[in-house]
Amino acid sequence: MSVFTLKIIAIISMLIDHIGLILLPSGNLQYLFRSIGRIAFPIFCFLLTEGYSHTSNLKKYILRLSAFAIISEIPFDLAINGSLFDFSHQNVFFTLLLGLILIAAVDCIKKKTESFILESPEIKIPAKAVQILLSVSLAAAISAVSIIIQSDYSIIGILAILSFHLFRRKRPVALVLMSAVNILLGGLRQLPAAYSACPLMLYNGKKGPSIRWLFYIFYPAHLLALYLIGLMI
């Protein structure tokens, strides 16, 4: 499967999830829709790390996520909470943004510590130990931020993104870690997220047709559309 195919799968499953959340009453049908929707977010986390590894301009990537986090907040608040502004729960772009900042910072820590220790032979601390200590501290800090602002998926998303990044060349390990994070922190309701491993294991490393802006535009647009449909029914 190419990036294009994975994006389409994630977008469709996200739409099903939000139809269940916004339009369906509590019950078995809503549970089914929301279970199918659990497949979406791990795929978006994986695609974020792939996008990061191939981007030629990290600053633009961060600004793009920041812009759509702000743009999406009103449609998100209307669809999820029924109010124009609700700061108790933030949309998923904030989680993706924090995850992107984390993995970029982890790579920066790795480069800086290796360079510093090579230039300072009197320092006997192994570079790896310093990298792990600083990276864990940073991951904890950014996870705390996600919890404080209550971004969608919060720490689950942050740790999933970090897992996909650190084990990019060992995808089965990353998928096991992602599934474990979802179940341990999200409970059994997050169990269906593990099924995202099926399409992700089939990823062939190819981009496919370019639809960079589809998710960015679709996310706020479909939330607003579902909110308006909910008003009519």
Amino acid 76: pLDDT: 96
Amino acid 23: pLDDT: 95
Task: Mention every residue, 6+ apart, whose C-beta is less than 8 A from residue 105.
Answer: 138
Domain spans, the chain: 3-232
pLDDT in tens, the chain (233 residues): 999 999 999 999 999 999 999 999 989 999 999 999 999 999 999 999 999 999 989 999 999 999 999 999 999 999 998 888 888 899 999 999 999 999 999 999 888 876 665 556 655 566 677 788 899 999 999 999 999 999 999 999 999 999 999 999 999 999 999 999 999 999 888 999 999 999 999 999 998 887 778 889 999 999 999 999 999 98
CA count, 13 A, side-chain hemisphere, 83: 7
In contact, 72 and 95? CB cutoff 8 Å: no
Amino acid 111: pLDDT: 84
C-alpha–C-alpha distance, residues 191 and 180, integer Å = 9
Q: Which two tokens stand for residue 126?
A: 């192994």
What is the DSSP code string of 30-68?
Answer: HHHHHHHHTTHHHHHHHHHHHHHHH-S-HHHHHHHHHHH
C-alpha–C-alpha distance, residues 127 and 178, integer Å = 27
C-alpha–C-alpha distance, residues 156 and 217, integer Å = 24
Look-up: residue for tokens 């904890």?
140
C-alpha–C-alpha distance, residues 100 and 52, integer Å = 7
C-alpha–C-alpha distance, residues 131 and 211, integer Å = 36
What is the DSSP code string of 127-173?
Answer: HHHHHHHHHHHHHHHHHHHHHHHTBTTHHHHHHHHHHHHHTTT-HHH
Phi, psi dihedrals of residue 90, rounded to the nearest 5°:
-105, 155
Amino acid 107: pLDDT: 93
Q: Which two tokens stand for residue 118?
A: 């090579």
Amino acid 210: pLDDT: 79
**Given CA atoms 149, 189, 172, 214 in this order, what sign does their dihedral have?**
negative
Amino acid 122: pLDDT: 57
pTM to 2 decimals? Answer: 0.92
Virtual torsion, Cα 68, 160, 60, 15, nearest 10 deg: -30
Task: Mention every residue, 6+ apart, whose C-beta is less than 8 A from residue 12.
Answer: none
